[in-house]
A = this chain, B = another copy of it.
Amino acid sequence: MRKKAISASVIKRLPRYYRFLGDLSLKGIERISSGNLARRMGVTASQIRQDLNCFGGFGQQGYGYNIEQLRLAIGDILGFSNAKKTILIGAGNLGRALAAHMDFAGKGYQLIGVFDKKPSLIGQVVSDLPIRDIAGLDEFCRENRPEMAILCIPREETQETARTLVSLGIRGFWNFTHYDLSVEFPDVAVENVHLGDSLMTLSYHLSHPKDTK
């Protein structure tokens, strides 16, 4: 049933295509060639054609790609069409900011619950959802069957919380903790965001400026 697996490099580039195609669509442009898109994105036309052809022939010789059609196709590939029920664990500064700031619906997610253990937070409303006591997590999951969990909790609690969540049916984590979930849980999808790593990488580049070639 499945063709050969798509490489991680290709998958990580799809969201960027999706974004650029969205911009072009908003500008009212209807079609684009791989060469033109490549110039705008700072990549090679070959790469774009290779990447897209992992999933099928979306273009037309002599014409290029229909922007809106391609955008929708990539959205489908990325899985935006099915509603993925999502919970947020940890409603501190970062958790609340994410709940308020991200466009979950546009990516096929549906935020259905927010949890924290801190009494002063419980009951507050974030993004139209009441912050619930983490003590009610089991019951909530059994009733509502969320499949994705956003982790904004302290490092020390991550491993145990993740194990609990997996046992409750969670199949993917968007992990903002300083703990590396990738090593365990081979069957669970994990995106480790690691904002600290990103800041460290930037520090390297600031400290080692490129020569002007």
**A207 near B78 (CB under 8 angstroms)?**
yes
CB-CB under 8 A from A172, the residues of chain B are 202, 205-206
Q: Contacts A16-B180, A187-B210; is A195 near B197 (CB within 8 Å)?
A: no
Whether B174 and A108, one on each chain, are in contact in the complex, defined by CB atoms closer than 8 angstroms, is: no
User: What's the Cα separation between A14 and B42 when bound, in Å?
Assistant: 26
Question: Does A27 sit at the interface, judged by CB under 8 A?
Answer: no
Instruction: Say yes or no for A18: interface residue by CB 8 A criterion.
Output: yes
Q: Please tell me if the beta carbons of B93 and A200 are within 8 angstroms of each other in the complex.
A: no
Give per-residue flags for A193-206: 1 if the beta carbon is below 8 A from chain B beta carbons, else 0.
Answer: 11111111111111
- Please give the distance in Å from A23's CB to the nearest CB on chain B: 9
**A147 interface residue, CB < 8 Å from B?**
yes
Complex contact A174–B202 (CB within 8 A) = yes
Shortest CB-to-CB span from A15 to chain B, Å, is 4
Q: 14 additional contacts, CB 8 Å, given A93-B100, A104-B199? A: A15-B194, A19-B180, A79-B203, A79-B207, A82-B207, A93-B97, A94-B98, A96-B97, A107-B196, A171-B209, A174-B198, A186-B210, A191-B199, A193-B195
